[in-house]
């Protein structure tokens, strides 16, 4: 969405409130419900989505008054950001809006945990991303590949950035993807593996765009992968540790996350496939001496994953059963026991060639 459009959407919310006040009515906001009971897995779209239920937040209800005021303050702040064309973080916004209400001892906000949910409320009401309201998210992740972008007037070639690669910013909405020459996008959880793959010219040999999420993917990474994949029709391959945490990273990149179900269509990438590490790899590549005992938390999370509707596929159920039975997990680095280039020159090219993916 363009800046002017987002501004108009915010204005619309404000004008509806104004109209109610002018009519002497109790002003209110209608906000889509984001609790688990209103989150659905859409089998056609292959995404977590929000249902239809909405809740009312009205000014004249004492239980709502504070939140009502806070939501309008956040809306107004974001409108200012857009008008002045500035970007900032959730934390800065909290400080910028915190003040003592004249004539009282009450602060507008006491904790950032009060202002953050207002942002998601506005995101769901207006159907835009918080990045489109110029609120930046946490930042993590880097990328290399045959891609040229335009960003703030600079032309940046991701193929010519030395060992560092391009830092994925928190907000990739305004980046122009000028030329994208690649057969697919490869996302690896860990930066150490990214550096080895970069050094071994994996992305040149495979003609792919190589991304590391550096742990759970931040919104910038998710949105960038989504944009590259949808705007340039590129398949996505994901590579994480064989543990519940790694597989959840895959889950979020592909299907979206529960707390951001309202924007799965722009942060998720339903066509993504999983290349490894799998529990079967431990058997197939004889990595038994390089596994780690699963903790109780690992086991609990593996059991949770096995219940999610989007993991109800025979291939994943088999892997999750193996994990629960073996009580083990394995890291990407376990492949280094076969030699430092085994991952980049044998394991990955062979699996990709054979299309040995989990869905």
Q: Choose which of 167, 259, 295, 312 interacts with a copy of itself (CB under 8 A).
A: 167
The answer to whether 151 contacts a copy of itself (rule: CB under 8 A) is yes
The answer to whether 280 contacts a copy of itself (rule: CB under 8 A) is no
Nearer to a copy of itself by Cβ, of 52 and 154: the residue is 154
The answer to whether 166 contacts a copy of itself (rule: CB under 8 A) is yes
Distances in Å between the Cα of 63 and the Cα atoms of 57, 67, 69, 112, 176 are 9, 8, 12, 19, 44
Residue 108 and residue 97 in contact, taking contact as beta carbons nearer than 8 Å: yes
Which is it for strands 208-212 and 184-188: parallel, antiparallel or unpaired?
parallel
Of the residues 94, 95, 184, 290, which is catalytic?
95
Choose the stretch contacting a copy of itself; rule: CB under 8 A; options: 7-15, 43-51, 299-307, 328-336. 328-336
Q: Catalytic site residue 285?
A: no
Q: Choose which of 55, 89, 146, 216 interacts with a copy of itself (CB under 8 A).
A: 89
The answer to whether 169 contacts a copy of itself (rule: CB under 8 A) is yes
Q: Choose which of 12, 53, 160, 300 interacts with a copy of itself (CB under 8 A).
A: 160
Choose the stretch contacting a copy of itself; rule: CB under 8 A; options: 2-10, 160-168, 226-234, 248-256. 160-168
Q: Choose which of 47, 49, 124, 136 interacts with a copy of itself (CB under 8 A).
A: 136
The answer to whether 93 contacts a copy of itself (rule: CB under 8 A) is yes
The answer to whether 351 contacts a copy of itself (rule: CB under 8 A) is no
Residue 301 and residue 329 in contact, taking contact as beta carbons nearer than 8 Å: no
CB atoms inside a 10 Å sphere around CB 92: 12
The answer to whether 346 contacts a copy of itself (rule: CB under 8 A) is no
Residues of this chain that interact with a copy of itself (CB under 8 A) are 81, 86-89, 91-96, 98-100, 107, 136, 138-139, 142, 149-156, 160-171, 174-175, 191-192, 195-196, 199, 214, 289-290, 331, 333-337, 339-341
Catalytic residues: 95
């Amino acid at each position: 969405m363009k800046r002017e459009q987002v501004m108009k959407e915010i204005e619309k919310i404000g004008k509806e409130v104004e109209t109610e006040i002018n009519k002497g009515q109790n002003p209110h906001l209608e906000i889509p419900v984001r609790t688990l009971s209103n989150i659905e897995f859409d089998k056609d779209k292959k995404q977590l989505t929000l249902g239809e239920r909405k809740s009312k937040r009205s000014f004249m209800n004492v239980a709502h008054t504070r939140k009502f005021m806070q939501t309008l303050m956040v809306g107004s702040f974001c409108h200012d950001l857009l008008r002045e064309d500035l970007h900032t973080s959730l934390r800065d916004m909290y400080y910028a809006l915190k003040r003592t209400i004249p004539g009282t001892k009450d602060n507008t906000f006491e904790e950032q945990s009060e202002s953050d949910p207002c942002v998601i409320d506005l995101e769901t009401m207006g159907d835009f991303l918080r990045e489109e309201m110029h609120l930046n998210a946490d930042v993590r992740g880097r990328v290399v590949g045959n891609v040229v972008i335009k960003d703030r007037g600079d032309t940046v070639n991701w193929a010519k950035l030395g060992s560092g690669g391009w830092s994925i910013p928190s907000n990739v909405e305004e980046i122009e993807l000028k030329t994208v020459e690649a057969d697919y996008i490869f996302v690896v959880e860990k930066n150490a593996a990214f550096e080895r793959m970069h050094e071994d010219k994996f992305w040149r040999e495979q003609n792919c765009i190589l991304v590391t999420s550096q742990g759970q993917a931040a919104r910038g990474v998710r949105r960038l992968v989504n944009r590259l994949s949808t705007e340039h029709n590129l398949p996505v391959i994901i590579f994480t540790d064989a543990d519940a945490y790694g597989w959840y990273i895959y889950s979020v990149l592909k299907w979206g996350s529960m707390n951001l179900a309202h924007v799965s269509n722009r942060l998720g990438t339903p066509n993504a496939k999983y290349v490894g590490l799998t529990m079967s790899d431990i058997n197939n590549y004889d990595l038994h001496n390089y596994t780690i005992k699963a903790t109780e938390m690992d086991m609990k999370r593996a059991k949770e994953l096995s219940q999610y509707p989007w993991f109800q596929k025979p291939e994943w159920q088999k892997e999750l059963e193996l994990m629960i039975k073996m009580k083990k997990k394995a890291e990407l680095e376990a492949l280094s026991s076969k030699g430092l280039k085994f991952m980049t020159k044998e394991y990955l090219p062979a699996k990709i060639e054979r299309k040995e993916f989990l869905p």
